[in-house]
Chains A and B, each alone.
Chain A
Amino acid sequence: MNRSRGSRGGDNEALRQHPTDQLIRNLIAQGRAPSDAETVDIIDRLSTAQFDSRVVSVPETVRPHAPQGVPRWDALSLHLAQRAAVDSQWATGVTADMFVGDLQAAARHPSARIAIYEARGAPIALVVADTSDVVPAEHLGAHPEPLLVVVYSADWGVIVSGYQASSFDRIRIGDNALWLR
């Protein structure tokens, strides 16, 4: 996968240089487990991260749910439309702030599993929590799944995906994953 800058995440140099993002990249590169204090820093980072803000091409499956005639849309709106209107994992009335709040809450939950690893050449932090522990009932769509998955890019300092999955086996996690908890 092309990792040229601009390929993923918010175009914000300050975010890329955030010390916790650098820590995640270093831990992955060194294959070193984080200390307790470093784990706290990573959880803090994940639980306050914003969603990717770049503008992305609207895929055909989402076009009926995008503003009419808009060929490109910001990644968060596109992602929420996908998860709510297309997948029915979240309710269609859920706002972008509510959606991001649910994703941020996952990392804060004490039972959430958190891993860091490299995926397609890029450093990733992954959070997996029970959907029912984190997502309020009124946010759920008609076809929710038991696990909430949050994918964070340590290159770009943003959440790049949030979705629900049927089981742990379904989630793609790198063989080289370091589990923080």
Chain B
Amino acid sequence: MATLKVKKPTSADVDHFLDVALREWQLIPELDSCDPLFVESFLTDWPVVEDRLARLDRWEQEGLMTPIQSEKLSKIHRLEAKYRTLVESKL
């Protein structure tokens, strides 16, 4: 079957995944007011959110981010520090 080929990210890829991750972590305090069906799906798919953040951390360690992108990643980690306990309580 298939061999997994992981593409080296472009700067646009990094921007895209940063934007998605930022929105995901910003969503956490809003979950109680969201469509319950969406919330259940969001929590079921939580490993994807975790993998996305881990991938972004890896890309930063590999020097694939601009200073602006690294600052955005730091902002996501500040949200993570603020909201991880909350989301863990819902999982």
| A interface list, Cβ under 8 A from B | 1-2, 7-8, 54, 56-57, 59-61, 75, 79, 82, 86-88, 119-120, 131-137, 139-140, 142-146, 149, 151, 160-161, 163-166, 170-172
Contact = CB atoms under 8 A, between A and B. Distances in A.
Interface in B19-53: 19-20, 23-24, 27, 34-38, 40-48, 50-52
Contacts of B52: 87
Given A8-B37, A161-B41, A166 B54 contact: yes
B3 interface: yes
23 contacts: A2-B36, A7-B36, A54-B37, A56-B37, A59-B27, A61-B19, A87-B48, A134-B1, A135-B2, A136-B1, A136-B2, A140-B2, A143-B55, A145-B51, A149-B47, A151-B44, A160-B40, A164-B48, A165-B47, A170-B47, A170-B51, A172-B47, A172-B91
Contacts of B55: 143, 166
Describe B's contact surface by its main secondary structure: helix
Q: Interface residue tally of chain B, by bracket?
A: 20 to 34
